[in-house]
Amino acid sequence: MSPSSLSPEELSERIGKAEQHYQDLSRRNLQLDMTRGKPSPEQLDLSDTMLSIVDGSNCKGDDGTDYRNYGIGTGIPEAKALFAKFMDVSTDEIIIGGNASLTMMYDAFVGGLLFGMPGSTGPWREQGGIKFICPVPGYDRHFAICERLGFEMINVDMGDDGPDMDAVETLVADDAAIKGIWCVPKYSNPTGATYSDEIAGRLATMKTAAPDFRIFWDNAYTVHHLGDGPDRVANILELCKETGNPDRPLMFGSTSKVTHAGSGVAMMAASVANIKDAAEKLFYSTIGPDKINQLRHVRFFGDLDGLLAHMEKQAASIAPKFSAVDAALEKNLAGKGLATWTKPRGGYFVSVDVLDDCAAEIIDLAGKAGVKLTPAGATFPYGKDPKDSNIRLAPTMPSVYEIEQAMEVFCACVELVCVRKLRESEAPE
């Protein structure tokens, strides 16, 4: 029976049982961590042959260039050929960078601030009061870049198929200080949502007051399905070209959660004008990326089919973990009216929405019982979840057994805190 339909006495009895359950679980002295979306050791092992695939005898490119040396600032041609297919662009629309797409995103922001972008009337910093649209819940590191660099963040709700476009269109139509929007178009962090063609089309077509508005299209999970075959996302660059806004999107990707998260290959794809602009900016910060690592990746995958086959192994490794999370949520919380949760088809997270004003307390209680969760508010700009209701679960790193244990604690905390909250809200003034 739903707790909200219980009498005060029944509610108290329910809370008593939940408290007892929580105490019992606390005595297990667990030490489990579901905070960050890191690949597990088993996932990392899948790419270990990559480490020995290039040595002194085979470290030259197809044209004989020695990749141990300086040069080729925008990436080796072999990697451009492979990752252009991965990003669905042509080889003159991509830069292959270092190991982190986040660095490329940060650099793009800094470049906009200091020098402007193609289409800018000047550097963004000279305009003052610059803003960025942040679909919420979203990725904490995106918001951290905005906060660090002084962008005011504007929350827009994230739905099952992308951001609330009515809100986005209204905001960008009149305000030239809004310089862009964050998008994780496929298996979004944290909700797992995939953008529909309609939403992608509206992003490409919408009128923006800023002539240099940018869609930061962070396709971090583009090949990360969980076993039922990949979702399909529109090619935002092609859509923007068709609608006369070719310079609007900057697309990012990486192999961080394909091969080794600490030594993958990152990339940015965009119009030729944007790529030329980014390459000019890059010239001052590097005499070339880690080309040996790029070559390792090319040799390891062979081609795009090789990469996709590799991702089937990743899916086989992590899908049971997502199933374990869902099974626990279904078993312990379904039909109780205390929480809703996503059932992602890919990506790295499950997003749980609990009753308002409960998330921080649940995370705190779980931590005290030995289960570390992503801090409350992390999925919102400035770390402030206005409803204090969203919790991000990251199931990839722990084992299935650990997840089962962690989820028992998590669900017990949801039950305890939310039922207490219901009693509070029903208590006479």
Ligand X SMILES: Cc1ncc(COP(=O)(O)O)c(C=O)c1O
Residues that bind ligand X (CB under 6 A): 37, 100-102, 139, 184, 189, 218, 220, 254, 256, 266
C-alpha separations of 369 from 10, 24, 127, 285, 338 in Å: 26, 10, 49, 46, 20
| Cα dihedral: 420, 426, 427, 429 (round 10) | 130
State how far the alpha carbon of 155 is from the alpha carbons of 134, 163, 166, 181, 356, in Å. 5, 10, 13, 10, 18
**Closest distance to ligand X from the beta carbon of 289 (Å):** 13
Nearer to ligand X by Cβ, of 220 and 338: the residue is 220
Least Å distance, CB 191 to ligand X, is 11
Looking from the CA of 224 toward its CB, the CA atoms found within 13 Å total: 31
CB 218 within 8 A of CB 138: no
Distance CA 71, CA 346 (A): 37
DSSP assignment string, 290-332? -HHHHHHHHHHH-SHHHHHHHHHHHHHHHHHHHHHHHHHHHHH
Measured CA distances, 384 to 138, 160, 202, 359, 364 (Å): 12, 22, 28, 11, 16
